[in-house]
Amino acid sequence: MVNYFYITLIVLLLLVIIVQHQHKKKRTQELLEVQQRLHKIINRPLNEKLLLLTNDPALQTLLAEINRLLIAIQHTGAVYARTENSMRRMLSNISHDLKTPLTVVIGYLEMLRLNPDLSAEERNDLIAKVHTKTVLVLDLIHTFFDLAKLEAGDNDMVISKVQLNELCRMSILQFYEVLTAKGIEVDIDIPDQVIAAKGNEEALQRILNNLISNAIAYGSEGKVLGLTLHEDEESAYIQVWDRGKGISEIHKDAVFERMYTLEDSRNRSYQGSGLGLTITKRLIEKMGGKIHLNSKPYERTVFIVELAKIKF
């Protein structure tokens, strides 16, 4: 009887050892498969996840965490690729925008150098043109460095209470002559009730100048430009809108990218740096605000600046 008991115990122990061995062997195989698949994903640009059928809870948890890490890596890679493409395009466009006026400047200087018989009036006219083009180059360089400082976080901005009503009126007034010359009707809707927001007055002036300039540049054919100020319980909203050709869905996010312009040919009638809307968005975000874009061609294209409201 005792011998039978020991034999049974030994058999049970052997069965346990065999089961543990099989389990260990299966886990080893599964881990090896995980390693091989992970190696393939890492060494090739594959947007894949680790898929493995297993009943092992610990291994299931490990796979879930690895997949989370892979998703994060893939997202970071996609962001890096977009940033790199954006930087390449930006450098190419900066090179173009610097080269064009500098080439013209060199041409004017050559005319001055090679034509000593030019009249004083002709000479002064060429010098004035050199000055204009040089200022254009300096403006572009300053704009580029402004964006670089914003993105590096080196641009200190004092946030305070800003009264928006008069700021909006003065901003649109600065463009009165340009709007009149182009025959553009101005539709202003600014309430008498004071609306104040959390922001920086100088930054907001630049934001409005950029948005109004952009509306004139790309929406002037609609012959109407509007500026609206309103509020709700939480926020103050400034809208700059036009009835021009608008912005298609595929371009709506891209317009805020560095050096992006709405014309593939780099609009000759209005050759902006392509940095205005990028700087606008960065400044708004630095003030804790948001910018929205809605566009229906030849009906209404509107940029909406949203800022945290402050009771006056």
pLDDT digits (tens, 9 = 90+) for 218-236: 898 999 999 999 999 999 9
Residue bearing the bigger pLDDT, 236 or 54: 236
Helix (H) or strand (E) run with residue 303 in it:
strand 300-310
Percent of the chain past pLDDT 70, that is, above it, reads 76
Residue bearing the bigger pLDDT, 192 or 254: 192
Q: Is 298 left (phi over 0), alpha (psi -120 to 50) or beta?
A: left
291 has pLDDT over 70: yes
Residue bearing the bigger pLDDT, 231 or 273: 231
State mean pLDDT over 4-11. 64
Say what the alpha-carbon torsion angle 182, 296, 208, 312 is, to the nearest 10 degrees.
Answer: 130
State mean pLDDT over 23-47. 68
State mean pLDDT over 159-173. 95
Tokens of 123: 């000479």
Which pLDDT score, from 0 to 100, does residue 304 have? 97
Tokens of 153: 């976080």
Which pLDDT score, from 0 to 100, does residue 19 have? 66
Instruction: Grade residue 259 by pLDDT with cuts at 50, 70 and 90.
Output: low
State mean pLDDT over 195-224. 93
Calpha distance 23→189 (Å, rounded): 74
CATH superfamily entry for domain 160-310: Histidine kinase-like ATPase, C-terminal domain (3.30.565.10)
Which DSSP category does 233 fall into? Answer: S
135 has pLDDT over 90: no
Establish how many alpha carbons lie within 13 A of residue 251's alpha carbon, considering only the half-sphere containing its beta carbon.
Answer: 15
| Strand ranges for 132-269 from DSSP E | 160-163, 185-189, 196-199, 224-231, 235-242
Residue bearing the bigger pLDDT, 27 or 298: 298
Helix, strand, coil share of the chain (percent; to 5): 60, 15, 25
Instruction: Grade residue 148 by pLDDT with cuts at 50, 70 and 90.
Output: confident
